Amino acid sequence: MTTTLDEQYYSSLLELQQLDFALVELTLFLDTHPNDMQALQQFNQLAQQRQQCAHAFELRYGPLLQFGHSYSKFPWQWSQSPWPWQV
């Protein structure tokens, strides 16, 4: 493993997982309730929060997405361990 995982890693990851969980739930809900304004507002608000949280996570622990959806430091970080099932 090239990145040393500290306690902070697990708590930052959990924070992102919690935000993403709410966003998955809201996405599915909005798929069948497209006119729910309150759900939509909550969705957009959390999407913004998620962006900031993911950005902070990536700065510290490397890219979450690829094909150009995340930036990389030198050398190429994407192919470095750990992968999700290794932590």
Q: How far apart are CA 20 and CA 11, in angstroms?
A: 14
Greatest extent of the chain over all pairs of C-alpha atoms, in Å: 47
Question: Total number of residues binding other proteins (CB under 8 A)?
Answer: 26
The nearer residue to other proteins, 14 or 74, going by C-beta atoms, is 14
**In which residue are the tokens 């739930």 written?**
25
Q: In the bound complex, what is the minimum distance in angstroms from residue 25's beta carbon to other proteins?
A: 7
Residue pointed to by tokens 């290794």: 86
Token digits of residue 72 = 């990389």
* Residues from 7 through 26 that contact other proteins (CB under 8 A): 10, 13-14, 16-17, 20-21, 24-25
Please select the residue that binds other proteins; options are 2, 35, 75, 83, rule is CB under 8 A: 83
Binding of other proteins by 75 (CB under 8 A): no
Token pair of 13, please? 């990851």
Binding site for other proteins (CB under 8 A): 10, 13-14, 16-17, 20-21, 24-25, 27-29, 31-33, 62-67, 69, 78, 83-85
